[in-house]
């Protein structure tokens, strides 16, 4: 099948009177931002659109007024309730999620007509992950059970699917899940000199079979197994962007982003040290992810 050229007007017509919501982490926020950029190009008048963020920054809403359509982003990096749910302050080293807590954030997704989920990077802190069975507020490390990252990730994915079964009408709504977004923090992965990263990279990786060391196939495989197994009843559209993004060591924001803290002289002297090799420039790669979404929405 061919990819279709993104048609913002057709997309807006389809979203007329509807809500499209991206739920997940900062990579999904990037895909949301790309979608807003693609759509708003078809709405030249500033009065016909608005962009608002809740005071806690958890929820962002773009409105296309003449279409009565919204495109929204909701911050939930694990989908489940976690101790990293603060959309502003979430640099937590001892990450934990609460078992069976999908409704905690899920109540804010009710009524969405198109949902686009993601979750991956936040789980990858080690080989195991902490799960608490009681309240997350005030939970201590000793209250948590260690389970393998694969098991914890699968638990969240299954809970998300159950929420979708319970809350979405598959005749009238659509659910997407965007796969793992690769990072380029280690240039040895693609045969570069030791110590380098995506900084100063200007070309794609040419090796069609390239796979970076950050791509944990065992974690990605969990999703395939669930979607082919006990999750097969849910008509979820999987946006498999991982391999196509693996090649794009040149597409990260690198040093070209807002710095929240002033750079130190050491950083200025060696820009590699503060290059962001996780997030992506816009316009750029994530527009392609949305072209894929568009193709699968209209030409499934
Ligand atoms: C606008 O869209 C919302 C759903 O997002 C719907 O509930 C509402 O009825 C619509 N309003 C009009 C005037 O069509
Ligand atoms: C999560 O909760 C379910 C249902 O209560 C339970 O069967 C499972 O063992 C729990 N998982 C963990 C890791 O505590
Ligand atoms: C969805 O469509 C099918 C087939 O037309 C119908 O049998 C079913 O009742 C519909 N479900 C809902 C929730 O409307
Ligand atoms: C950036 O890459 C170019 C071309 O590979 C190289 O000549 C240059 O030295 C690099 N600059 C830095 C600061 O690493
Ligand atoms: C995603 O695509 C890659 C190849 O591009 C494939 O190896 C992998 O199995 C796919 N994953 C799933 C879950 O379909």
21, 22, 158, 228, 286 from 35: Cα distances, Å = 11, 10, 27, 29, 9
Q: Which of 26, 86, 250, 295 is catalytic?
A: 26
- DSSP state, 9? H
pLDDT, one tens digit per residue, over 213-228 is 988 999 999 999 999 9
Which are the contacts of 204, defined by CB distance < 8 A and separation ≥ 6? 247, 248, 249, 250
Position 1 in a domain: no
Residue 122 has a pLDDT of 93
Distance in angstroms (rounded) separating the CA atoms of residues 296 and 240: 11
By the 10 Å C-beta count (0-12 exposed, 13-18 middle, 19+ buried), 15 is classed as buried
Q: What average pLDDT does range 232-245 have in this prediction?
A: 97
Looking at the chain, the whole-number percentage of residues with pLDDT higher than 90 is: 88
Residue 140 has a pLDDT of 81
pLDDT, one tens digit per residue, over 5-40 is 899 999 999 999 999 999 999 999 999 999 999 999
Distance in angstroms (rounded) separating the CA atoms of residues 28 and 22: 7
Q: What average pLDDT does range 187-204 have in this prediction?
A: 96
Q: How many whole angstroms from 171 Cα to the centroid of ligand 3?
A: 6
Position 121 in a domain: yes
Position 3 in a domain: no
pLDDT, one tens digit per residue, over 48-104 is 999 999 999 999 999 999 999 999 999 999 999 999 999 988 777 789 999 999 999
pLDDT at position 2 over 80: no
276 has catalytic annotation = yes
pLDDT, one tens digit per residue, over 178-195 is 999 999 999 999 999 999
Residue 255 has a pLDDT of 96
Residue 1 has a pLDDT of 56
pTM of the model: 0.95
Average pLDDT, the chain: 95
Residue nearest to atom 2 of ligand 2 (CA): 99
Position 2 in a domain: no
pLDDT at position 196 over 70: yes
- DSSP state, 82? B
Residue 44 has a pLDDT of 95
pLDDT at position 141 over 90: no
Q: How many whole angstroms from 45 Cα to the centroid of ligand 2?
A: 51
The maximal CA–CA distance of the chain, rounded, in angstroms, is 57
Which one has a higher pLDDT value, 231 or 4?
231
Residue in the block written with tokens 């002289």: 265
Distance in angstroms (rounded) separating the CA atoms of residues 35 and 232: 28
Position 159 in a domain: yes
Residue 42, domain CATH: 3.40.50.1110
pLDDT at position 42 over 90: yes
Smallest CA-to-CA distance from 125 within 78, 193, 65 is with 78
Do 215 and 169 touch, CB atoms closer than 8 A?
no
Q: How many domains does the chain have?
A: 1
Residue nearest to atom 4 of ligand 2 (CA): 100
Residue 129 has a pLDDT of 94
| Residue 150 belongs to domain spanning | 8-298
């Amino acid at each position: 099948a061919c990819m279709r050229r993104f048609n913002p007007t057709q997309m807006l017509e389809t979203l007329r009177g509807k809500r499209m919501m991206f739920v997940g982490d900062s990579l999904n926020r990037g895909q949301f931002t790309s979608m807003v950029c693609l759509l708003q190009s078809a709405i030249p008048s500033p009065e016909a659109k608005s962009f608002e963020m809740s005071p806690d920054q958890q929820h962002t809403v773009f409105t296309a007024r003449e279409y009565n359509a919204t495109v929204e982003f909701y911050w939930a990096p694990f989908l489940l309730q976690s101790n990293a749910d603060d959309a502003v302050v979430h640099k937590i080293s001892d990450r934990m999620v609460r078992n069976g807590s999908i409704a905690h954030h899920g109540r804010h997704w009710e009524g969405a007509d198109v949902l686009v989920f993601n979750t991956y990077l936040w789980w990858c802190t080690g080989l195991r992950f902490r799960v608490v069975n009681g309240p997350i507020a005030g939970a201590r490390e000793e209250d948590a059970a260690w389970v393998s990252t694969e098991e914890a990730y699968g638990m969240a994915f299954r809970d998300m699917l159950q929420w979708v079964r319970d809350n979405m009408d598959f005749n009238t709504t659509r659910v997407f899940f965007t796969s793992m977004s690769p990072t380029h923090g280690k240039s040895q992965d693609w045969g570069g000199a030791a110590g380098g990263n995506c900084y100063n990279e200007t070309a794609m990786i040419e090796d069609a079979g390239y796979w970076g060391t950050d791509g944990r196939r065992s974690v990605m495989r969990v999703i395939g197994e669930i979607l082919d197994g006990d999750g097969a009843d849910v008509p979820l559209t999987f946006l498999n962007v991982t391999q196509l993004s693996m090649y794009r060591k040149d597409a990260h924001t690198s040093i070209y982003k807002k710095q929240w803290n002033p750079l130190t002289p050491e950083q200025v002297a060696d820009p590699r040290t503060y290059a962001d090799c996780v997030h992506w420039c816009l316009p750029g790669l994530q527009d392609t992810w949305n072209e894929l979404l568009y193709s699968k929405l209209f030409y499934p």
